[in-house]
Each structure stands twice: as structure tokens, then as C-alpha cells.
Amino acid sequence: MAIIGKDISQAKKLLSGGELVAIPTETVYGLAANALDPTAVTQIFAVKDRPTFDPLIVHVATIEQAQKFAASFPEKAMKLANHFWPGPLTLVLPKQAIIPDIVTSGLSTVGIRCPNHDLTRKLLADLPFPLAAPSANPFGYVSPTTAAHVNSQLGHKIKYILDGGPCRIGLESTIVGFENENAIIYRRGGISEEEISKIIGKVSYRLASSNPVAPGQLDSHYAPNKKFYLGDIDELKKEFIGKNVGILRFMNNSDSSVDHQLILSKSGNLEEAARNLFSSLRQLDQKIDIEIILAEPVPDSGIGKAINDRLRRAATN
């Protein structure tokens, strides 16, 4: 199994030698490699069993570093970086030739993000190269939000997990690209559409099916192994009478003491719900006496839209 620790110099040593290290961020744990080393990056795809058509996000310490890897930085992108970095926002920008094709799946653009986590920021500031890092889980499964989550699935394939505690946001970054000066959200995430439009005005959202440039938007993703149904829980319960169901609710309700039921946020707080989402899905997926999982959508505003997006994709398994 991997060693789990807080030793930045150990992480630095392994990454500098072309090896993979799992790193904490405020969104989810990442599986990192030197983004400028195609051989190291190739291992990410192998360990995750991720198709090479799904591009990786490049993590940097500062805006200045991001500017070295982007061939241009539109004004709106710079406004967003200034406002939200370090933070859960990925900018898709035209790439410099120094970023290997394997990182971007051959696209002419690169997704760049400056993560907001002390340990990983120190690590990035210490490294002479940026880190390519997708979420540290087998492709298509629920993203990890603790070092233990990473260890349970990928621990036998990597040497070191940098332990930064549970992730503060718990959902992946929001991905924003720019086409003809228009800002487009390719993936909903830790920063809401409302927050983004406060900074740059109008922003649109591009549905997965019409967006072949972002295959991470595949319909079935973030999915547990068990069958997962999304809808009105009381209706679903009637449909599955006789089955051992696990239930994922948004907030407290009258029968909140039911067996195998998890509540995302007792007080109905969407940020707390986001933080608990992936670990709750894992918990229900791992309980052996649960056959299927039933969940309800959360209120569709702010980060709630990103939560509902994950729930919908989990339900297409």
C-alpha cells in the first residue's frame, strides 16, 4: 500500500523522479505527475484506467506560472484568475508547445488551475514544473475526498499520498473556456455560475452531448458500483419495495432515523452537502447489505447545480 504522510520533500523527490503522487486540493484529491514529462503523465492514464482522449488539468502555483503555459490569456480569463485563484476554477486556454499533447489529449487548449490547499501550494511552489492531475480514482468512479479514499482504490499502484485532510469543497473545479470572447462553463463545480457572472457578466453552460472537447463530461461519471436512482425518495421506495435500499437525502426529514440513510446536510446547507456528497456515496456503495441506492436532488441553485449534475451522472450507471 502507499505511504500516507505530510512530507512535501518526499512528494517532491518522487515527482521529480517521474513518479506519481496523490495530492490534496480543496476540491478532491488529485493523482499528480510532472506535467512536462510525457512518460510520467502516461502513467496517470494507466493507473486510473482513463482513456487518453480525456484531457488532464495542469496545476500551477501562481498566475505568473499559468501565463508561461498559456499562449494567450483573454481579459475575462485574467479577471477570473485574479478573483478566484487560488480556488476551484479551471481555465481552458490556448496552450504553449511546452505542454505535451498527452496532457491535453491532442487539443490545442490546456486546462489550468491554481489549487487552494496549503500543502499542495507549498509543493507546487517548491517544484520546477507544474503538476498534471486528474481526480485520484479509477476512471468513472466517485472522486476521493480523503487520503483513505485514495488509498483504498489506488494505494497498491502508487507510492505516496500527501495527506491534507478532508477536502474543504468536496466537488471538482468549475471549468470555464472562452470562445469568441464568450465565457462557457464546460463543467459545473466548486464555483457557481452566479459567482462567475458577478465578475465577468454573461456566461453560458454547454451541455455534455454538444461538447466533444470536454470528454470528462461523459454522461455516466462519478458513479458508484451499485445501481443508483435519483428522484422523489418516497416514490422510489414504493417502486423498490422488498429491496434493501440505501438512501441519500439532502436534509433532515420526518423519517430521518431510517436504517441506511445518510443526510448530506442536516441544516440544508448546500456547501456542507457538497463536502459530504462523495464520501456519502462511497459509504452507501460499500455497505454490503445495501442492494441499490436512492437519492433526491438538492435545491438547484448556487453549488446545488453542481451537486445535481454529479447526482444525475451517478444515476446513468
In the region spanning residues 163 to 222, those forming contacts with ligand AMP, defined by CB under 6 A, are 172, 175, 177, 186-187, 213-217
Q: Do 277 and 184 meet the contact criterion of CB atoms below 8 Å apart?
A: no
Q: Find the shortest distance in angstroms from Cβ 228 to ligand AMP.
A: 19
In the region spanning residues 103 to 162, those forming contacts with ligand AMP, defined by CB under 6 A, are 104, 107, 109-111, 134-135
Assigned C-alpha cell, 124: 507546487
CA 165 – CA 148 distance, rounded (Å): 9
Q: Find the shortest distance in angstroms from Cβ 104 to Mg ion.
A: 16
Q: Find the shortest distance in angstroms from Cβ 92 to ligand AMP.
A: 4
Q: Nearest to residue 93, comparing CAs of 71, 76, 115, 75?
A: 71
292-295 vs 245-249, strand pairing mode: parallel
Among the listed residues 25, 27, 90, 135, the single contact to Mg ion using CB under 5 A: 135
Residue 135 or residue 173: which is nearer to Mg ion going by CB?
135
Is 217 near Mg ion (CB under 5 A)?
A: no
CA 32 – CA 45 distance, rounded (Å): 11
Is 309 near ligand AMP (CB under 6 A)?
A: no
21-23 vs 160-162, strand pairing mode: parallel
Residue 34 or residue 109: which is nearer to ligand AMP going by CB?
109
The number of helix segments (H) and strand segments (E) in the chain equals 11, 15
Residue 251 or residue 277: which is nearer to ligand AMP going by CB?
277
Compute and round to an integer the Cα radius of gyration of the chain: 19
Which helix (H) or strand (E) element contains residue 269? none
CA 60 – CA 203 distance, rounded (Å): 24
Q: Find the shortest distance in angstroms from Cβ 150 to Mg ion.
A: 12
Residue 107 or residue 199: which is nearer to ligand AMP going by CB?
107
Residue 94 interacts with, from Mg ion, ligand AMP, none (CB under 5-8 Å by kind): none
Position with the least CB separation from Mg ion = 135
CA distances from 96 to 61, 68, 132, 290 (A): 17, 8, 15, 49
Q: Do 223 and 278 meet the contact criterion of CB atoms below 8 Å apart?
A: no
Assigned C-alpha cell, 9: 520533500
Which helix (H) or strand (E) element contains residue 84? helix 75-84
Q: Nearest to residue 129, comparing CAs of 109, 106, 103, 155?
A: 103
Residue 213 or residue 292: which is nearer to Mg ion going by CB?
213
Is 25 near ligand AMP (CB under 6 A)?
A: no
Position with the least CB separation from ligand AMP = 216
Is 4 near ligand AMP (CB under 6 A)?
A: no
Residue 173 or residue 192: which is nearer to Mg ion going by CB?
173
Binding pattern for the stretch 29-58 against ligand AMP, x by CB under 6 A and - elsewhere: -------------------------xx-x-
Residue 207 or residue 288: which is nearer to ligand AMP going by CB?
207
| Interacting residues with ligand AMP (CB under 6 A) | 54-55, 57, 92, 104, 107, 109-111, 134-135, 172, 175, 177, 186-187, 213-217
| Interacting residues with Mg ion (CB under 5 A) | 135
